[in-house]
Amino acid sequence: MENEVPLIKVTIDGQEIRVPAGTTIMEAARQIGPSVAPPAMCYYKPLQGSGGKCRACLVKVSAGSEKDPRPMPKLVASCITGAQDGMVVENFTSPEVVEARKGVVEFLLINHPLDCPVCDQAGECHLQDFAFENGVGEKRFVEEKRTFEPEDIGDKVQLHMNRCILCYRCVYTANQLTEKRVHGVMGRGDHAQISTYIKNSLESDFYGNVIDVCPVGALTDKTYRFKSRVWFSKPVDAHCDCEKCSGKVQVWYKGDEVIRVTARKNQWGEVEDFICNTCRFDRKKTSDWVIEGPSKVARNSVIAQNKYGLNQGKKPEFALNYAATNFKGIDDARDYNQNLDQIKKSEDYKALMQKNDKFFSKEKSLK
């Protein structure tokens, strides 16, 4: 073989692996498996130059290489640091790394609105997973969060700047997939925001991919907005004969209806093939697609919960049983047939009415 790349030995959390020279620590860890792979919020393998920003993937290098076994003085971002021969990396086994990662979770969440109950991304949000797996349950931030005015950046893409974690993935996507980038990061510090310059709107055949690369719910699909929770829909792999892109997509069904189309993602949440806007926004009929079969969904994913409808019958059954067993316990001695006058005379009723009056008068004064 020509240009044979020498293999180097890397030890991550006690597990050895041989990878070609030039591989990053992150890629080496991903080859071992999810048990040692550091989390990534900004790194996205298909996008050149991404990574190093979120600091979620910090790891401790306890031995630099075979030749120079000194540890690195600081924690390093595994997605941009190249592995060396004989390198020993500590990820989940290092208390220092675990502590630093807790800090990163906290930093990412302090200005995040935590509006998961109304967010379309909930259920497939990388920040949710990252915070759940690496964070602490309590918050120490009591100040006001920074907020942004809503902004319209395109007819099919919704921007919720408050949720953004500034991973720059969408900027790289627009740089590398489309001819002209019209959106970018404006301002600096925690008031930096993704925006278009002078109210420009995203226009190209591939801009829809910014929705897929966004790790949080900052960029969402307007055609899918508020249609369904992710875990009530069922993804199937499908393809079509598209002249612009590969046509390999995931079609999300709710019942018999196609509610959205996304690109196929791998184990790490990275897009396998970027798809065009026609596939994403316009082909919303089953007849547009050749169905290949149900998509692989990770067992621990919330999407897997309702996937085959196994649990759907269980919950009402349980409720009925519960109601039936507790029905007997209800106290029947109460007087059901009080007439309306009697009720109006009672103290409870008067107190309730007073409360109501107070409430409504306050509302009026506010107006």
Partner 1 sequence: MANDIKILTEHINIPGIETFEVYRKAGGYNAVEKAIKKMSPEEIVEEVKKSGIRGRGGAGFPMGMKWSFLAKPEGVPRYLVCNADESEPGTFKDHYLMKNLPHLLIEGMIVSSFALGANKSFIYVRGELMYVVRILEKAIEEAKAAGFLGKNILGSGYDLELVVQPGGGAYICGEETALLESLEGKRGNPRNKPPFPAVKGLYQSPTVVNNVESIANTPWVINHGGEEYAKIGIGRSTGTKLISASGHIKNPGVYEITLGLPVDEFMNSDQYLGGIRDGHYLKAVVAGGSSVPILPANLFYKTANGEDRLMSYESLSDGGFPTGTMLGSGGFIAMDETTCIVRNTWNFSRFYHHESCGQCSPCREGTGWMEKVLHRIEHGHGTMSDIDLLVDVAKKIEGNTICPLGDAAAWPVASAIRHFRDEFEWHIKHPNEATKLGAVYMGAEILA
Report the interface residues with partner 1, using CB under 8 A: 41, 51-56, 58, 74-75, 77, 80, 82, 99-100, 103-104, 106-108, 110-111, 140-141, 143, 146, 165-166, 168, 184-185, 187-192
Shortest distance in whole angstroms from residue 77 CB to partner 1? 7
Shortest distance in whole angstroms from residue 124 CB to partner 1? 21
Q: Which is nearer to partner 1, 168 or 252 (CB)?
A: 168
Shortest distance in whole angstroms from residue 119 CB to partner 1? 19
Shortest distance in whole angstroms from residue 82 CB to partner 1? 8
| Type of residue at 194 | I
Q: Which is nearer to partner 1, 92 or 107 (CB)?
A: 107
CA distances from 315 to 159, 184, 253, 255, 310 (A): 36, 46, 22, 19, 10
Shortest distance in whole angstroms from residue 336 CB to partner 1? 53
Q: Which is nearer to partner 1, 132 or 322 (CB)?
A: 132
Backbone φ, ψ for residue 147 (5° rounding): -130, 160
Q: Could you tell me if 212 and 174 are in contact, meaning their C-beta atoms sit under 8 angstroms apart? A: no
Shortest distance in whole angstroms from residue 52 CB to partner 1? 4
Q: Which is nearer to partner 1, 143 or 335 (CB)?
A: 143
DSSP H helices in the chain: 25-32, 95-110, 126-134, 169-177, 209-213, 277, 314-327, 340-345, 347-366
Q: Which is nearer to partner 1, 75 or 153 (CB)?
A: 75
Q: Which is nearer to partner 1, 146 or 296 (CB)?
A: 146
- Positive or negative, the CA dihedral 296, 300, 304, 308 is positive
Which residue pairs, CB below 8 angstroms and at least 24 apart, start in 186-192? 190/111, 190/146, 191/146, 192/166
Q: Which is nearer to partner 1, 75 or 119 (CB)?
A: 75
- Positive or negative, the CA dihedral 323, 327, 331, 336 is positive
Q: Residue 62 and residue 95: Cα distance in Å, rounded?
A: 13
Q: Residue 354 and residue 234: Cα distance in Å, rounded?
A: 50
Shortest distance in whole angstroms from residue 187 CB to partner 1? 7
Burial class (CB in 10 A: 0-12, 13-18, 19+), 44: buried
Q: Which is nearer to partner 1, 73 or 313 (CB)?
A: 73
Shortest distance in whole angstroms from residue 204 CB to partner 1? 21
Q: DSSP string of 32-56?
A: H-TTTPPP-SS--TTSTT--SSS-T
